[in-house]
Amino acid sequence: MLRPIYLPALGLAFCVGCSSVRMTGESVVLIGQEKGRLAYEHISVSSVRSTYRDHLPTTVHYEAGRDYLIDPAAGEIQRTPQSRIPDFSTNILYGKEDFNHGNFPGYGNGKFFAFIDYSFQARHPRTKLITTRLEKTRQKLQSGQSLKIVAFGDSITAGGEATDPSLIFWQRWADELKAKYPTAKIEAINGATGGDTTANGLQRLQAKVLDQKPDVVLIGFGMNDHNREGFGVPLETFAENLRTMIDRIRASTSAEVVLYSTFPPNPKWHFGSHRMEVYADATAKVAQEKGCAFADVYHRWQSIAERKKPEDLLGNNINHPNDFGHWIYLEALNELGL
C-alpha cells in the first residue's frame, strides 16, 4: 500500500510512488478566448466552477467543451466563444496602465474568477527556509492549554476580499490547529485595521494587541508601507517599526511572535512603489535578528504566480488576495510546523 505523507513545501497530500498531487480552488481570470495558465503543467482537471468553495447555492459548475477548453500538458485553460465564464476583458480595470483605483467605482475581480480543482505532477516551489521558534506555543497545544492568537496587520490580515470570515488565512490556520489539537482551547482575534502601515500599527499596538494578553501574535505589514513616497513608510523605518513592535510585545506579554511577509500588488497600480521584495526581505531579516518565527508568504506567492497573471490572484485587482490567495498565506503559516 502506498503511504500518504505531507509535503510542507506545497501543503498538499500525495503518496510515495504516486505521480500527482491535488490542487483545490486555484483561481484564474480568462480574457476572451486567450489561454490562461495554471500554476502547474501536466494536469488532470476535476472541477471548474464560479466559487472557491464548491456546492454553494450560487456555485456554477462550468462544463468542458461548452464553457472551457483544457490543454492538460501545458496546464492551460481558455474560454469557448459561448462560455458562461465571465470575460475579464470587460473588467473596468482591464487594460488600464498606472491606474488610480479611486477613478474606477465598482472595481474588483470577484465575479470574474474561475476556480479549478486538478491533480498535477509534484514539484517543490522555491521558498526560503522557514524558522519556527514556537516551542511555547507547541507545548500549550500539545498539553491542551488555552491559546490566544492575535492577528495584527493591515487590510489583508483584516480579511480583505475573503468571501467568508472563515476563509481568512489566520482563521483557517486557527481552525486547522483546533482540528489537530482538539483538547486545546484556541481563540483567534482579528486585531488588524485596513489601510494601516507599521506607523499606524505602533499607534494601535496597545489596544489591538497588548491589552488582549495574547499567547501568539501574528504581525503582517508591508502592503501599505511599500507604497510610493507620501503614502508609505521608508524601508529602514519599516524595519525599525517591526523591531519596536516586537520589543513592546515581549516587554508586556509572554507571547511568541510570528512575522510574515506579503506579496506584490498589481504592477499597474499607481500608488505602489513596486519594491515589495525589499520589504519582504526586511521582514525576514528582522525576524532572524529578533529570534521570531517567520512565514515566507512573498516567495510562496511568487512561486505560485510564476505562470499566472497578477489579476488571477487579486480579489480587488489591486492589493488584496482572493480566497485562493488567502490559502497561499495559510500554507506559509503551515510551514511553521505546528
C-alpha cell at 121: 505532477
Model confidence over 261-310: pLDDT tens digits? 999 999 999 999 999 999 999 999 999 999 999 999 999 999 999 999 99
In degrees, to the nearest 5, what angle opens at C-alpha 229 toward C-alphas 326 and 206?
60
Model confidence over 22-71: pLDDT tens digits? 999 999 999 999 999 999 999 999 999 999 999 999 999 999 999 999 99
Model confidence over 72-101: pLDDT tens digits? 999 999 999 999 999 999 999 999 999 999
Average pLDDT over the chain, rounded to an integer: 93
Which of 223, 159, 162 has the alpha carbon at shortest distance from 191? 159
The per-residue pLDDT for 2 is: 27
Decide which of 176 and 18 is more confident: 176
Query: What percent of the chain is modeled with pLDDT above 70?
Result: 91
Domain boundaries, the chain: 4-120, 135-334
Handedness of CA 332, 333, 336, 338 (dihedral sign): negative
Which of 336, 334, 332 has the alpha carbon at shortest distance from 127? 332
Handedness of CA 296, 297, 298, 302 (dihedral sign): positive
Model confidence at 16: pLDDT above 80: no
Cβ-based neighbour number of residue 218 at 10 Å: 26
In degrees, to the nearest 5, what angle opens at C-alpha 111 toward C-alphas 108 and 114?
115
- Does 2.60.40.2580 match the CATH number of domain 135-334? no
Lowest mean pLDDT among 125-134, 194-203, 292-301: 125-134
Q: What is the pTM of this model?
A: 0.92
- What does the buried/exposed string (b/e) look like for 307-323 if buried means 16 or more CB atoms within 10 Å of the residue's CB? bbbbbbbbbbbbbbbbb
